[in-house]
């Protein structure tokens, strides 16, 4: 399941920027630290998305299949990089495969628990969704370039 994450660590994560101390405490409860060895697949394109990930250390490459047998890199994430954001956006299926290219530690956010927080706490929902949209927009812009 992973190690518990403190509210202080959550405070430094971009998609939670601007929450109150109480909100950071709530969000920390749905986060866990996980470690993956080099070459490990963290998530697979097309799978039901259950977690959002933020790279704490290491590197993760995200690839999507654009045609049968042809894959393209859609993300190269290092400290602070977000992937697996589809756990917060319907239809809740990962849009790429994420692989650790070196030993990597991530903060994993339980998507279902985060969605439950969003139903009750509007500011958490608005903050997380706005920052998630920014992540997706940057990813699309990077692909265009």
Mean pLDDT of 85-91: 91
Q: Using alpha carbons, select from 89, 105, 107, 94 the residue that is nearest to residue 45.
A: 94
The pairing of strands 31-36 and 3-4 is antiparallel
The more confident residue out of 34 and 17 is 34
Q: For 9, phi and psi rounded to 5 degrees? A: -70, -40
The SS3 assignment for 36 reads strand
Residues 6+ positions from 134 with CB-CB distance below 8 Å: none
Q: How far is it, in rounded angstroms, from Cα 34 to Cα 109? A: 10
The more confident residue out of 111 and 66 is 111
Given a cut of 80, is residue 46 above it in pLDDT? yes
Q: For residue range 90-121, what is the model confidence (pLDDT) as tens digits?
A: 999 999 999 999 999 999 999 999 999 999 99
The mean predicted confidence, pLDDT, of the chain is 92
Contact 37, 103 (CB under 8 A): yes
* Residue labelled with tokens 């299949």: 65
**If pLDDT is split at 50, 70 and 90, which confidence band does 74 have?**
confident
Q: How far is it, in rounded angstroms, from Cα 140 to Cα 68? A: 21
Instruction: Say which CATH topology domain 3-144 has.
Output: Jelly Rolls (2.60.120)
Tell whether the torsion through CA atoms of 57, 86, 62 and 82 is positive or negative: negative
Q: Where exactly are the structural domains of the chain?
A: 3-144
The more confident residue out of 145 and 2 is 2
Q: What is the DSSP letter of 15?
A: G
């Amino acid at each position: 399941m992973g190690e518990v994450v403190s509210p202080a660590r959550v405070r430094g994560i971009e998609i939670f920027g601007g929450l109150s101390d109480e909100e950071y405490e709530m969000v920390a409860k749905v986060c866990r630290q996980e470690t993956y060895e080099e070459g490990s697949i963290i998530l697979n394109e097309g799978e039901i998305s259950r977690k959002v990930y933020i790279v704490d250390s290491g590197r993760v490459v995200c690839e999507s299949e654009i045609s049968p047998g042809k894959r393209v890199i859609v993300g190269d994430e290092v400290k602070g990089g977000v992937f697996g954001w589809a756990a917060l956006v319907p239809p809740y299926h990962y849009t790429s495969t994420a692989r650790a290219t070196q030993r990597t530690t991530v903060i994993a956010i339980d998507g279902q628990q985060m969605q439950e927080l969003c139903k009750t706490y509007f500011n958490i929902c608005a903050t997380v969704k706005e920052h998630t949209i920014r992540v997706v927009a940057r990813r699309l812009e990077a692909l265009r370039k």
